[in-house]
Structure 1
Amino acid sequence: MDIILIPGLWLDASSWDDVIPTLERAGHRVHPLTLPGLGAPASESAEIGIADWVDDATRALDSLPGEAVVVGHSGGGNVAWGVADARPERVRRVIFVDTVPPPSSNGISEFELVDGVVPFPGWDFFPDEDVSDLDEETRSRTAPLTHSVPARVPTDEIVLTDSARYRIPVTLLMGGLDQETFEGMIDQWGPYADEYHAIDDAEVVKVGSGHWPQFSVPEKLGELINAAIAR
């Protein structure tokens, strides 16, 4: 199976490096992406928005010969769901890594702009539940791998138009939430709950990690992705 791996904000294709061997041992063909404008100054990236990221990932899918599984981590989940909306007939499964399917007209989040781009705010910016499993060595090794994000990408509203996306099987690999806990939480999230419950076949699997399992438990994340594909 072809697998498209979409990183979250600030990360490029290399963020999947430690996950890929587990996927390839299972016989999968893996396509990690680096999305447009990553690390570019505002003079080059100011016009790049979330639609451009979705278009780029959709082109990656179009370059493949058949169906593919699309995996999105964190903010990359918005991109993955945009691809599913654009090509529902080509997506075998969508796998969200510690994020949820976004409803149309919603963005990722807001972060501070510096010189017209969104720089990585540092590991200390995030709550302990997200980063407690990243030891100092991992933080020191991975922080230099981050890049600024085009200013519009986190705040642009994603546009979703094809209800066929709800027919695609979905797996949510959630860092610290099992299905029962997750569903109790998402039911408080308004349109996010509506989007989730509209999906015909959605499962939630607890990873037992923080927000970046590709860094803290990459082999386990790979095994969970393999298991989701095998369902």
Structure 2
Amino acid sequence: MDMVLIAGLWLDGSAWDDVSPALEGLGHRPVPLTLPGQGDGSSSATLDDQVAAVVAAVDAAPDRVTVVGHSAACTLAWLAADARPDKVASVVLIGGFPSTPGEAYAAFFPMVDGAMAFPGWETFEGPDAADLDADARARMADGAIPVPEGVATATVTYSDDRRYDVPVTMVCPEYSPAEARAWIDAGDLPELAKAKHVDLVDLDSGHWPMFTRPAELARLLADAATT
């Protein structure tokens, strides 16, 4: 199965370099995306541009696909399911959740010169980054791509309730499946509360398992694509 891979903020398609070969070995075809404004040299990209890039990758696949979103890009994966509910066979969310309609996509940090830069590792101390050594942190920080303001501050909207029929697997890295279930049951994650098929799986890692647990992550993605 084709698997469209969307990394989170400040990352481009190379974030999946260690995951992709493992997916291929498990019989899947990874399609890692470099989003407009996050690696293609454009600083004026919008959220609509990024959604269009994801949908184009879905449309280009010969058959139905699994769309994988990491962190903030979980919303992009869910927007793809909203745009193509008949073509997206399943969605996998890694360390994140779909935004609620009306929320900003990812306006988490200050905008400077029209973009949201990586805020530094102090922001992510604790479970998020506990498994990243100093070299990995330095490489990620050096390669971090500021997110265009037109992406980060855009309002999220959905249009097709058939997205709730698309099976969802939540990969829980820096938090537990029990915590995620409690958030869903409490109504804190409205989009997932309405989804009809949500599986929760544990992964003992921090927020960026594509760098620290690529083989284990690939196996979870493969399992999600075949169940």
TM over 0.5: yes
* Paired residue type of 2:164: Y
Partner Cα separation in structure 2 for residue 40 and residue 67 of structure 1: 26
1:9-20 matches, within 5 Å, as 9-20=9-20
Q: Which moved more, 1:56-65 or 1:83-92?
A: 56-65
TM-score for both structures, normalised by structure 2: 0.93
Segments of 5+ residues of structure 2 without an aligned counterpart are none
Partner Cα separation in structure 2 for residue 111 and residue 93 of structure 1: 31
**Are the aligned partners of 1:103 and 1:160 in contact in 2 as well (CA < 8 Å)?**
no
Partner Cα separation in structure 2 for residue 131 and residue 143 of structure 1: 12
Segments of 5+ residues of structure 1 without an aligned counterpart are none
Q: Deviations over 1:39-80 (max 9, x none)?
A: 578xx533x222221111101111111111000001111111
Structure 1 residues 40 and 95: alpha-carbon distance in aligned structure 2, compared to 1, 3 A threshold: closer
Partner Cα separation in structure 1 for residue 193 and residue 72 of structure 2: 20
Partner Cα separation in structure 2 for residue 180 and residue 60 of structure 1: 33
Partner Cα separation in structure 2 for residue 40 and residue 114 of structure 1: 19
Shift of 1:188: 4.0
Q: Which residue of 2 aligns with 1:22?
A: 22
Partner Cα separation in structure 2 for residue 54 and residue 73 of structure 1: 14
Structure 1 residues 176 and 198: alpha-carbon distance in aligned structure 2, compared to 1, 3 A threshold: same
Partner Cα separation in structure 1 for residue 125 and residue 73 of structure 2: 19
Q: Which moved more, 1:50-59 or 1:176-185?
A: 176-185
- Count of aligned positions: 226
Are 2:76 and 1:79 equivalent residues in the alignment?
Answer: yes
Q: Which residue of 2 aligns with 1:196?
A: 192
Are 2:215 and 1:219 equivalent residues in the alignment?
Answer: yes
Q: Quick one: which of 207, 221, 228 aligns to 2:224?
A: 228
- Alpha-carbon RMSD across the aligned residues, in angstroms, is 1.7
Q: Which residue of 2 aligns with 1:69?
A: 66
Q: Which residue of 2 aligns with 1:141?
A: 139
Q: Which residue of 1 aligns with 2:163?
A: 165
**Are the aligned partners of 1:40 and 1:148 in contact in 2 as well (CA < 8 Å)?**
no
Are 2:179 and 1:181 equivalent residues in the alignment?
Answer: yes
Q: Which residue of 1 aligns with 2:93?
A: 96
